Amino acid sequence: MAGPSVPSRELLYRGSPNEFVAALRHEAKAHVAVRHEYLERFAAGDFPSMAFAVRDFAQQYAVYSAGFTSYLQGVINSLPQRRHRDVLTENLQEEQGLTGVDGQHTPHAVLFDRFRRATGVSAADEAQFVPTTTVSVWRDLFLQKCQSSQLGVGLGAIGLATELLVSDIYRYILRGIREHTTIPEEHHVFFSLHIDCDDEHAQDLIAITEELSDTPNVREAVRFGVFSSLNLRVAFWDVMLARAQIGEDTQHGH
């Protein structure tokens, strides 16, 4: 029986949907996007100025994360079955603060903005802020995938390449914030909340992906959505690592 030891590419035209998704899940979890040097050094506080690195992360990552409800809505629109759309709509409502986890009804974008401001981003910083080319491209291309009319592309992007991995990625970020900054715990909520709730979202998305991955066309689309999205995230971590290693001087180039 095929398992995670069989590459997902070898299961595009054979094997069960569950075997294909299990292989793809294994590959996504092992991807450098989830254990990048930037994340490891962020968690360890291993930058010349951790204050700058955290503030820079907050500003740059906001460019991508602010679009999350649009990403979800794009995937919802791409799903042909109402019951699948309903599952993702519940996730969307959590993001919007319409429903809550552990009594948390604040829109997640507001939670991230509170964290961003707690890093010390000032009005002057906001006025001078220029997104990196990479985060702007990541945001635009990720949205494009989520809005794709090709069934499976958006599902792979938002599910196996995002919701499945967010809890692992945010554990690095949360450790760096807790151990190497003085940002109050109340402003860590965005990360702790997603660590707690995104695994459940991932399981829902994996179940939908398994159900729909019954043809080579959908499997190919899912796999494309996963790996293209992971590679975009790696490109972002690469740039953030370069900026964090130089520190404040990176601002002079923007």
pLDDT in 10s for each residue of the chain, 254 residues: 344 579 999 999 999 999 999 999 999 999 999 999 999 999 999 999 999 999 999 999 999 999 999 999 999 999 999 999 998 998 788 777 655 555 556 787 888 899 999 999 988 888 999 999 999 999 999 999 999 999 999 999 999 999 999 999 999 999 999 999 999 998 888 898 877 765 677 889 999 999 999 999 999 999 999 999 999 999 999 999 999 999 875 554 44
Q: Considering the entire predicted model, what is its pTM?
A: 0.91
pLDDT at 2: 43
Domains located in the chain, CATH noted: 18-248 (1.20.910.10)
Q: Rg of the Cα trace of the chain?
A: 18
Give the count of beta carbons closer than 10 Å to the beta carbon of residue 242: 12
Helices (H), 12-67: 17-30, 37-44, 50-65
Rounded Cα distance, 133 and 5, in Å: 36
In 96-247, which residue ranges form alpha helices assigned H by DSSP? 108-118, 123-128, 133-146, 153-158, 164-180, 189-212, 216-246
User: Would you state the pLDDT for residue 90?
Assistant: 84
DSSP-assigned letter for residue 105: -
What pLDDT does 249 receive?
Answer: 54
Dihedral through CA 67, CA 72, CA 75, CA 80, nearest 10? -150
Rounded Cα gap, residues 198 and 163, in angstroms: 6
CA separation for the pair 48, 32 (Å, rounded): 23
What is the pLDDT, as a whole number, of residue 253?
44
Fill in the amino acid letter for 24. Answer: L
| Lookup: tokens for 65 | 């994360």
What pLDDT sits at residue 164?
93
Backbone angles phi, psi at 132, to 5 degrees: -65, 155
Cα–Cα distance, 53 to 249 (Å, whole number): 12
